[in-house]
Structure 1
Amino acid sequence: MDFDLSADQREIQALTREFAAAEIEPHAAEWDREHRFPRELFGKLAELGLMGACVAEEYGGAGADFLSYILVLEELSRADAGVGVTVAVHTSAVTLPILRFGTDEQKSRFVPPLARGEALGAFALTEPEAGSDAGSLRTAATANGDGWTISGAKQWITNGRYAGTFLIFARTDRDTPGAKGVSAFILDAEHVKVTRDEEKLGLNSSITNDIVVEGAEVGPERMLHGEGKGFEVAMATLDGGRIGIAAQALGIAQAAYEAARAYSLERKQFGKRIAEFQAIQWKLADMATEIDAARLLVYRAAWLKQQGRPHTEEGAKAKLFASEMARRQTAEAIQIFGGYGYTKEFPVERYYRDAKITEIYEGTSEIQRLVIARS
């Protein structure tokens, strides 16, 4: 059993960390305050190959393995979780499903622009009445002779306003209730109308939208993986996507730990640094231990996916533990900072706000427990 990263993995990790330190960390607080989506940043990430890190070179990607991609998400999220989730959804939830389930024509047409960062991807499954119960979605695709006419509304769509490619799920068989009547389609921005920018607790440098599709007419070549197989695409996508969200949570927690540790070595009370008090030492020890445990779960799930082995249960465990750990340990970071931690003078309050969503999207903690129990 080898726990060392390969030379290539260490290289892409270092590349991402260096980029994040120079291009993301100095601006993260400003983006958060202004609720600004840093569009210009993703062109720079694309130049480094990080918008398609684990996509084969023949399709415009960097050709790295899946664990390398997870390292990228961890490092980006350590600097700004909003940037991390933008790349995670773009890659895990759009590019990789097209690569896995698409025809040769679909892969050659849609994947290179995504992998090169020329288009941003959005994943449109959730609806106002279909959250965790995704199989109850109402968006409809009706056969029109030459293809499909699609109409419906979607909610909580990351990247929606700036996306050029949408992976959207619609009911093609109204007589079949639940998941079996759902199909997946690849749509362009021209097929979609953004109706709202969501105001969120955190992740303010990412964009989250409500969207509608109003009678979009598409050809049969826009259907992904065949009629009635959309739910299979969605669930397989979430299996891998959850590992990415676990990596995001891991990066947030790592940033909070590093900030809390540095502060404890500087802040003095009762004549000595607070890092010398056992109460603070125990908090930091627990933080470091739980972060390491989460990292092992995340990397194991990523390795299994890379090997083509079953990873549904392992991905759910990684997301469940890493997300709940991030919420706990960002709170502990605030506690170490005391009153300063509750202000925007320091970044730990942002880490706390950003961490919470990792327990909710791409499957709530409750859903992860169901997945694990049923496995």
Structure 2
Amino acid sequence: MDFHLTADQAALRDAAREFARNEMTAVGRQIEASNEPLSKDWKKRLGELGFMGVNISAEYGGMGLGALEALLVLEEFAKIHSGMAFPIFESCVGPVKAIEHLGHESLKKRVLPAVSRGEHVVAIAMSEPDAGTALTDLTTRGEIVGDKIVLNGVKRWSSGGGHADSYLVYCRLSDGPGAKGIGAVYVDKDAKGLSFGSREQLMGFRGVHSADIFLENVEVPIENMVAPGGGFGDLMGAFCLERCGNATMSMAIAAAAVEDTVDYVQERQAFGKPLVDFQAVQIKLAEMAMQVEASRLLIHRAVAGIGGGFPTVLDSSMAKCFANEMVRDVTGKAMQLMGGYGYSKEYPAEQRFRDAWGWGIAGGSIDIQKVNIASALVGRRFNQRAK
């Protein structure tokens, strides 16, 4: 068991770190201030540098590397700002991976190269007003009519909603009950009958649009079916990688909080000496650092050795759950240690604290990850609907 990165992996991480910190720190602060997404020009530049589609096959314009390499890149950008890193998240661990593994060849050739170039963002549309954690309650329907699929329904809490270039829409594609009837269809933003609600105003996640999505007799070609009815298990297999991306965003936020706090407590003085000289501060720093490193190890373990596949439900849920809980604690400690400076919008500590809480809600709540873990431990799924 080797816990060290290869020379190539370390070089990729260092290149991402240098570019993110030297070229995009101001961009991250601008996104936080304006609440507007990363610009098209910046996304294209990231594509040109190879930071988009890191683990998309070279056949479709990506770098053809593994999930671990993709998460190493994502971590370095997420340390700067979640909104700045979000296009990379979508290009490496978002619904594009389901498209790459499950989609029709014509769809893959049309979408994936554009994603890798930073010219196209695909968002996921899963949740509905009455189907979030209980995703199999979704009612959005896709009816196959000849060589078309006609979609009707409403989607909610789509990160990228109203701004992404296209959507992977989870919907009912057969009359099978529960998960047995669910599949997914790719829909372009400009499809006739597709519209969006007002942009959600969130506590954090600035620079990441979210809005309701309305589908009214939206017609797409049959080739846009990524998973047929009954393909829910395959879709959720791909979603395990997205859980690891979520965990990486959490871990990166916490890692950045530790770095800034270590610098701060060495510079700030109280009672005539640096804060770091106080034992209570030392203990908090140690706890924060241990939490981040434990999270990083869980994430890397989840994706190590999976090749072009996906992590297990157990490994990905453990990584996400731990990271989601850890980042809330670490960013809280960072804010406390930095005092008024941590609470001020002039500095990123308060932004990290707000974003930290979002990742434990997005992509499956902390508690549902614990249900997944328990289910894997006992070897059976729990019927939450049983009376």
TM-score range, shorter chain: over 0.9
| Residue 128 of structure 1: aligned partner | 129
Preserved contact between residue 17 and residue 75 of structure 1 (Cα < 8 Å): yes
Aligned counterparts of 2:56 and 2:369: Cα–Cα separation in 1: 27
Aligned counterparts of 1:90 and 1:155: Cα–Cα separation in 2: 21
Aligned counterparts of 1:372 and 1:81: Cα–Cα separation in 2: 27
2:126 is matched by which residue type in structure 1? L
Taking only aligned residues, the RMSD between alpha carbons, in angstroms, comes to: 1.5
Instruction: Give how far 1:71 is off.
Output: 0.5
Preserved contact between residue 237 and residue 310 of structure 2 (Cα < 8 Å): no
Kindly indicate which of the two structures has a greater share of residues assigned to helix.
1
SS of structure 1 residue aligned to 2:16 = helix
SS of structure 2 residue aligned to 1:216 = strand
Instruction: Name whichever of 289-298 and 208-217 sits farther off.
Output: 208-217
Aligned counterparts of 1:230 and 1:12: Cα–Cα separation in 2: 35
Aligned counterparts of 2:91 and 2:112: Cα–Cα separation in 1: 11
Preserved contact between residue 103 and residue 224 of structure 2 (Cα < 8 Å): no
Q: Deviations over 1:158-208 (max 9, x none)?
A: 1222322211111122x4331111121111111232222111111102222
Q: Deviations over 1:6-47 (max 9, x none)?
A: 122112111111111123212323321221212232111111
| Residue 224 of structure 1: aligned partner | 226
Relative to structure 1, the CA distance from residue 52 to residue 176 in structure 2 (aligned partners, 3 Å threshold; closer, same or farther) is same
Instruction: Give how far 1:304 is off.
Output: 4.2
1:325 aligns with 2:313: no
| Residue 210 of structure 1: aligned partner | 212
Structure 1's unaligned 5+ residue stretches are: none
Aligned counterparts of 2:51 and 2:346: Cα–Cα separation in 1: 30
Instruction: Give how far 1:270 is off.
Output: 0.4
Q: Deviations over 1:244-290 (max 9, x none)?
A: 11111111001100111111001000000000000100000101111
Aligned counterparts of 1:308 and 1:64: Cα–Cα separation in 2: 12
Relative to structure 1, the CA distance from residue 368 to residue 304 in structure 2 (aligned partners, 3 Å threshold; closer, same or farther) is farther
Aligned counterparts of 1:41 and 1:208: Cα–Cα separation in 2: 20
Q: How does 1:243-282 map to 2 (within 5 A)?
A: 243-282=244-283
SS of structure 2 residue aligned to 1:260 = helix
Relative to structure 1, the CA distance from residue 90 to residue 124 in structure 2 (aligned partners, 3 Å threshold; closer, same or farther) is farther
1:154 is matched by which residue type in structure 2? K
| Residue 47 of structure 1: aligned partner | 48
| Residue 151 of structure 2: aligned partner | 150
2:108 is matched by which residue type in structure 1? K
Aligned counterparts of 1:29 and 1:125: Cα–Cα separation in 2: 30
SS of structure 2 residue aligned to 1:346 = coil
| Residue 199 of structure 1: aligned partner | 201
Structure 1 moving runs of 4+ over 6 Å: none
1:180 aligns with 2:180: yes
| Number of matched pairs | 373
Identity of aligned residues (%): 36
SS of structure 2 residue aligned to 1:305 = coil
1:24 aligns with 2:24: yes
**Under a length normalisation based on structure 2, what TM-score does the superposition of the two structures give?**
0.93
2:16 is matched by which residue type in structure 1? T
Preserved contact between residue 76 and residue 83 of structure 1 (Cα < 8 Å): yes
Aligned counterparts of 1:128 and 1:230: Cα–Cα separation in 2: 22
Preserved contact between residue 242 and residue 319 of structure 1 (Cα < 8 Å): yes
Relative to structure 1, the CA distance from residue 111 to residue 356 in structure 2 (aligned partners, 3 Å threshold; closer, same or farther) is same
Q: Deviations over 1:44-83 (max 9, x none)?
A: 1111111100112121001221100011111111011122
| Residue 82 of structure 1: aligned partner | 83
Aligned counterparts of 1:270 and 1:124: Cα–Cα separation in 2: 54
Q: How does 1:280-299 map to 2 (within 5 A)?
A: 280-299=281-300
1:5 is matched by which residue type in structure 2? L
Relative to structure 1, the CA distance from residue 140 to residue 309 in structure 2 (aligned partners, 3 Å threshold; closer, same or farther) is closer
Instruction: Name whichever of 288-297 and 112-121 sits farther off.
Output: 112-121
Relative to structure 1, the CA distance from residue 284 to residue 7 in structure 2 (aligned partners, 3 Å threshold; closer, same or farther) is same
Q: Deviations over 1:61-115 (max 9, x none)?
A: 0122110001111111101112223321343222111111123333222221122
**Under a length normalisation based on structure 1, what TM-score does the superposition of the two structures give?**
0.95
Instruction: Give how far 1:353 is off.
Output: 0.5
